[in-house]
Amino acid sequence: MQNLLARSLKYQDGKLYVLDQYLLPHEQHWHLCNSVSEMQALILSLKVRGAPLIGLAATLLVAHLAEQGGSQAELAQAIDELEATRPTAVNLMHCMKQMREALKQTAFVDALVTAAERLFNEDVALCDAMAKLGAELVKPGENILTHCNTGALATAGVGTALGVIYHAHQQHGDIHVWVDETRPLLQGGRLTAFELESWHIPYTLICDNMAASLMAAGKVDKIFVGADRIAANGDFANKVGTYNLAVLAHFHGVEFYVVAPTTTLDVDCPDGQHIPIEQRAATEVTGVSGSFGDCQWAPNNAQVFNPAFDVTPAKLVTGWVLNTGVYDQGQVAEGALKAL
Ligand code: MRU
C-alpha cells in the first residue's frame, strides 16, 4: 500500500500507526497496529475515534493484513470482527462493506489495497467539499458553537463540522468558537481545543451545561455538529449532548447544522429510533481518566447511565451540510437524503 498520511492515522513504509487520542493534547504517542485485537482495543478505548476515522483505521488494517499474507477466510473474519467493534457510526460498516466486496475478487490483495487507498483519499475530498459548502453559511464576526471533536483528528481530511469552522476562519479570519467540553470523555476540551489552538482560531471552552445561558444572551450565532449516522428521514446520531443543543437552539432561534459526508448516511435506516446506540462503561461517568491519570468522585456503587450518542430529530435541524450540497427541512422531508 502507498504511504498515507492524516493527522491521527498513517501508513508509512509498510507499517500502520495510529495517534493515541486519549493522551492528547499533553502527550503525542503513535501506536503501531498489527492485528485485529490491537485495533479493536484502540477503537474501544477511543484512542482511535470519530466516525470516519474508525472506518478508515479498520480499512487500512485489513489491507495491511492482506499484504502480510492473510488468507481470504482470515480476512473475512477480520472484517466481521472489526465491523462489530462499535455499533453507532455507520462509516465503519460502509468501509467494511467495501472491503468485503474487494475480498471477493480473485486478485483480492490488490483489490483490498486499492479500495483502502480509495476510501482514504475519498475521505479527504469529502471533507474539503462539505467544509467549503458549510463555510458559505458563516458570516464574518460570528460566534459558532460546536460539540465533541469533528476535526482533522476524526477524519483523513480537515474534518466535518470543525472543517467548516476551519474554512470559515480561512475566509473571514474573525470568527470565534464556543467549544463544549463534551462530557464524559471530553473530546471538546481535549481535542477540539487542541485543534483550534493549532489552527490559531479563537475559541472559548465551556462546560456543556453553559450553552443555554450563552444562547439566551444572544452570544451564539450558529451551531455546527458532526454525525455518526444519519437516517433516511434526516434524524441523526451524534455524541451525547447534541440533542440538548438542538432543543436549546430551537428554543432560542439559533441555526443548527449537521455536517457529514455521504458515507455517514444510512438510507436503509428509516429514522432515528432504528439507530443502535452504544452504551459505555460506568467508570467514564463516575470519574475521569487520561494523560493526567485516573480519578473517581462518585460512590463505588453509583448506578450509571452512559450512552455514547443521542439522536436529534430532523425537525430540529436547520440544514444538513453534506459533500453533495446543503439540504433544508423541505428537501429532506421530500426524500433528498434517500436519493443520494
Ligand atoms: O465517541 P466518539 O469520540 O467517536 O464520537 C465522535 C462524534 O460523535 C463525532 O461528532 C462524529 O463521529 C463525527 S466526527 C467527524
Q: What is the pLDDT of residue 291?
A: 74
143 annotated as ligand-binding: no
Helix (H) or strand (E) holding 287: strand 287-290
Could you tell me the pLDDT band of residue 262, with boundaries at 50, 70 and 90? very high
Report whether pLDDT(292) > 80: no
pLDDT tens for each residue of 135-170: 999 999 999 999 999 999 999 999 999 999 999 999
Written as one letter, the residue type at 143 is N
Cα 155 to middle of ligand 1, angstroms: 10
Q: What is the pLDDT of residue 293?
A: 79
218 annotated as ligand-binding: no
ipTM of the complex: 0.99
Q: What is the pLDDT of residue 143?
A: 98
Cα 8 to middle of ligand 1, angstroms: 14
Could you tell me the pLDDT band of residue 289, with boundaries at 50, 70 and 90? confident
- Give me the catalytic one of 228, 235, 266, 310: 228
238 annotated as ligand-binding: yes
Q: Buried b vs exposed e over 273-285: b needs ≥16 C-beta within 10 Å?
A: eebebbebeeebb
Could you tell me the pLDDT band of residue 290, with boundaries at 50, 70 and 90? confident
Q: Is the CB of 238 under 6 A from ligand 1?
A: yes
d(CA 307, CA 313): 17
Cell 451524534 maps to which residue? 238
**Cα dihedral: 30, 32, 36, 41 (round 10):** -40
228 among known catalytic residues: yes
User: Ligand 1, closest atom to CA 264?
Assistant: 13
**8 A C-beta contact, residue 139 and residue 222:** no
Task: Report domain 129-339's class.
Answer: alpha beta
- Quick check: do 4-127 and 129-339 share a fold? no
Q: Is the CB of 164 under 6 A from ligand 1?
A: no
Domain boundaries, the chain: 4-127, 129-339
Q: For the chain, count helices (H), then strands (E).
A: 12, 17
Report whether pLDDT(307) > 80: yes
What share of residues in the chain are helix, strand, coil (percent, to 5)? 45, 20, 40
Task: Average the pLDDT over 93-121 and give the result.
Answer: 98
d(CA 53, CA 149): 12
Q: Does domain 4-127 have CATH number 1.20.120.420?
A: yes
DSSP-derived secondary structure letter, 163: H
pLDDT tens for each residue of 8-27: 999 999 999 999 999 999 99
